[in-house]
Structure 1
Amino acid sequence: MDHQTHFFFAVSIPVETKVIMKKYLEQLNKRIPFSRWVHYEDLHITLAFLGSAPTEKIKMAEKNVKEIVRGSKPLKLQIQKLGIFGKEDSPRIFFADTVESNELQELRTKVFSACVDAGFKLETRPFRSHITIARKWKGNEPFQTKFLEIWNELQLEPLVFEATNIVLFQTHLNETPKYEAKSIILLE
């Protein structure tokens, strides 16, 4: 079956942070039943999901993003707790939550605008900075909010990292890891 490829812009997570997150994910996976855990190399913070589009339109969005983020500085971000999206008793997304950052919010607004200017119709829900770590609850019992406290229970340290680039990723659903960097835009 041929899957249509999708594109998105995201803040890249540094390799060192991904390696630490891999250890955290292994511990969480033993305790919390989700169907699909994200490969640690695929961890990121989505800024704008483009979906599938013609090459010219993707290139226009890339050009716009490069122009609009020129002069943007690297961001200090912190991961410190867990969260969910979807139904409280059967969440569809399990994520590592990042501390709110005005700088990240401003960067996301710029990237979002650049993509809209390239002709993309994007998701209009409010931006919530997060790193998806698992999808689709598969527990025999309903999800319990106590699972969100496991970060503290396992004494997982808050992770502070510097985000130094925005990446245009292409999705390859049948591969692991599934995201391929097509373009890297440095924050300097």
Structure 2
Amino acid sequence: MKEHTHPATVRVFIALAPPDEAKEELERALAPAYEAYPRMRWNRIEDWHVTLAFLGELPVGAVPPLRPRLAELARTHRPVRLSLRGGGHFDERVLWSGIGGELEELHVLAAEVRAVVKECGIGFADRPLRPHLTLARARRGDHRAAPEAAAGLDGFAGREWPARRLHLVGSNIGRGPGPIHYRDIESWPFGGGES
């Protein structure tokens, strides 16, 4: 008989989330791709995010020490101004939208987030930041969908927006056959309590 019902690990990343108006602009620009490539595995618009640090599968007990440190980091930062622009693909399978705006500040924030993670004793694959927002994954064997959908975003330039909160996010990836779902474990407002 199992004594616990919660998983012993959680898949975690730290991210920024565009506001609804910015996501809706991009969603409208994607309308032709949604229609042309219905077999792609499209991420839900409410799950769109800009990852600063991907921590991977962590023991549940590794997460609580991150919370006060990330809260303090957010409190000392002003919101970074960003925009969604253009599109591209990784390995002909992953479709993404690019990020514009205060990219230098975004890289500084990501470096500080990653330093906090390391100071909490969490090891992770510290890959260089390539700012993007993942939109969809093509199914194996469909090599046209992501490049063609990305080409359809060439001229897209969305509004600028301030990233107002730092998000600690968990996902259910690998926990069943359905779509990936993300949930905020917690989020904190940037500089001066803006929300």
TM range (shorter): 0.7 to 0.9
Change beyond 3 A, Cα 1:181–1:144: closer
For the residue of structure 2 that corresponds to 1:123, the secondary structure is: coil
Structure 2 counterpart of 1:122, from 108, 121, 124: 124
* C-alpha distance in 2 between matches for 1:45 and 1:127: 10
- Of 165, 180, 184, which aligns to 2:183? 180
Q: Distance in 2 between matches of 1:146 and 1:25?
A: 12
What does residue 137 of structure 2 align with? 135
- Give the Cα–Cα distance (whole angstroms) in 2 for the partners of residues 72 and 184 of structure 1: 14
Question: Amino acid of the residue matched to residue 171 of structure 1?
Answer: S
2:3 equivalent in structure 1: none
How has the CA–CA distance of structure 1 residues 34 and 128 changed in structure 2, closer, same or farther, with 3 Å as cutoff? farther
Equivalent residue for 2:161? 161
Q: How does 1:9-28 map to 2 (within 5 A)?
A: 9-28=14-33
What is the one-letter code of the residue matched to 2:98? Answer: D
Identity rate of aligned residues, in percent?
23
Name whichever of 2-11 and 36-45 sits farther off: 2-11
Q: C-alpha deviations, 1:27-59, integer Å up to 9, x for none?
A: 222235763111100000011122232333111
Give CA-to-partner distance per residue, 1:74-132, whole Å, 9 cap, x none: 1110111101112xxxx231100012611111110111111111122222321100000
Q: TM-score, normalised by structure 2?
A: 0.79
The amino acid across from 1:26 in the alignment is A
Following superposition, the deviation at residue 17 of structure 1 comes to 1.8
Find runs of 4+ consecutive structure 1 residues off by over 6 angstroms.
none
2:95: which partner in 1?
94
Any conservation in 2 of the 1:34–1:135 contact (CA below 8 Å)? no
CA distance in 1, matches of 2:48, 2:146: 24
SS at match of 1:47: strand
Q: Distance in 2 between matches of 1:52 and 1:184?
A: 19
Q: Which runs of 5+ in 1 are unaligned?
A: none
- 1:149 aligns to what? 151
Supply the AA of the counterpart residue of 1:94.
Answer: L
Deviates more, 1:94-103 or 1:12-21: 12-21
Are 1:38 and 1:133, in contact at CA under 8 Å, matched by a contact in 2? yes
> Given that residues 18 and 163 in structure 2 are in contact (C-alpha distance below 8 angstroms), is that contact kept between their aligned partners in structure 1?
yes
Unpaired runs of at least 5, structure 2: 1-5
Could you list the per-position Cα deviations for residues 153-178 of structure 1 after superposition, in whole angstroms to 9, with x for gaps in the alignment?
xx644332221111111113457671
C-alpha distance in 1, partners of 2:60/2:148?
A: 45
| Residue aligning to 1:72 | 77
Aligned residue pairs total: 181
Q: Retained in 1: the 8 A contact 2:83–2:157?
A: no
